Amino acid sequence: MVMSRALLAAAVLVSCSLVLPAAAGAKAKPKTPTGYDVSYPQCGARLPTNVLFGIVGVNDGIVYSANPCLATELAWAEQYEPAAILYANTGDPGPALSSHWPTGQTTPQVCDAAQPDSASCSYDYGWNAAADSYRDAVGAYVSLGKLPAGATQTPQPNEWWLDVESANSWEQSAANNVAELQGEVDYLGSQGASVGFYANAADWQAITGGTTAFAGSPGWRPGAGGQAGAQSYCGTTGVTGGPLKYSQYASGGYDADVRCS
């Protein structure tokens, strides 16, 4: 039987109306407007879901230590963005307190064994610490099957943040502490990474003397009382003197973060 044009058009309309609800039901749930940062304290915990972005701590709270849940948290973060955002703890304990002090190292700077408590030695310490954190990140990617065994670089350059807090060990010399941070920045830059700084104003002043040596680097500000407060800091400068990129606040037992445009 041949349908008339009118009947055929009506049938098409009915058919389309039947498939529209299914298509609408397939829409993805919208993401929350913020990201979250996680590290070793969240090992074994349920991580936030459907977030805008994730930031992952590479260390177990101090330099030369790996977050035991790094691979799991890295996989979580890369559900939301192609390359996880990473942060590393920093410190400058000096030659008397560190088993990793680079006494006698000749590159990238000369750490004179006769004068191990120097800016050059602190620079090498920072370079080495960043290299260790970077290797931990590469190892996590290998364990996830995203890199072959023996790889030396992450699949693509990550955004890295240096966590500068008085809870870690620092020298009395602000110049040496700044040199340590410069070593970390330079190593990560040699791997193609972009680098910013996480710190509150009091710690930055106490550790670096309020240096402006990193004024070209973005900041990540901790301590906002809530999401609205965190958003209100966007458009201001970070402790480095560079633009504020992230603003952190507490949310549901986690650290949440606003990304400033």
CATH number at residue 209: 3.20.20.80
Residue 130 · residue 220 · CB < 8 Å: no
The pTM assigned to this predicted structure is 0.87
Tally of domains within the chain:
1
Residue range 8-20: mean pLDDT, rounded: 35
DSSP structure class, residue 196: E
CA 115, chain centre distance (Å): 34
With bands split at pLDDT 50, 70 and 90, how would you rate the model's confidence at 164?
Answer: very high
Hey, what are 159's tokens? 């955004």
Q: 150: exposed, middle or buried (C-beta count within 10 Å: 0-12, 13-18, 19+)?
A: exposed
Does position 28 have pLDDT exceeding 80, yes or no? no
Question: Is 209 within a domain?
Answer: yes
Note down the domain range covering 118.
29-259
Name residue, tokens 């390359």: 83
With bands split at pLDDT 50, 70 and 90, how would you rate the model's confidence at 43?
Answer: very high
In angstroms, the CA 198 to CA 209 distance is 16
Find residue 254's DSSP bridge partners: 251
Sign of CA dihedral 166, 177, 238, 241: positive
Question: Is 216 within a domain?
Answer: yes
Question: Is 20 within a domain?
Answer: no
Question: Is 215 within a domain?
Answer: yes
Residue range 12-21: mean pLDDT, rounded: 35
**pLDDT at residue number 31:** 53
pLDDT digits (tens, 9 = 90+) for 57-98: 999 999 999 999 999 999 999 999 999 999 999 999 999 999
Q: What is the mean pLDDT of the chain?
A: 90
With bands split at pLDDT 50, 70 and 90, how would you rate the model's confidence at 114?
Answer: very high
Residue 248 · residue 224 · CB < 8 Å: yes
Question: Is 9 within a domain?
Answer: no
Question: Is 106 within a domain?
Answer: yes
109 residue type, one letter: Q
Question: Is 45 within a domain?
Answer: yes
Residue 230 · residue 259 · CB < 8 Å: no
**pLDDT at residue number 50:** 84
Collapsed DSSP state (helix, strand, coil) of residue 122: helix
Residue range 128-152: mean pLDDT, rounded: 98
Does position 26 have pLDDT exceeding 60, yes or no? no
Other Cβ atoms closer than 10 A to 159 = 19
Other Cβ atoms closer than 10 A to 62 = 14
Does position 128 have pLDDT exceeding 90, yes or no? yes
Question: Is 12 within a domain?
Answer: no
Does position 260 have pLDDT exceeding 50, yes or no? yes
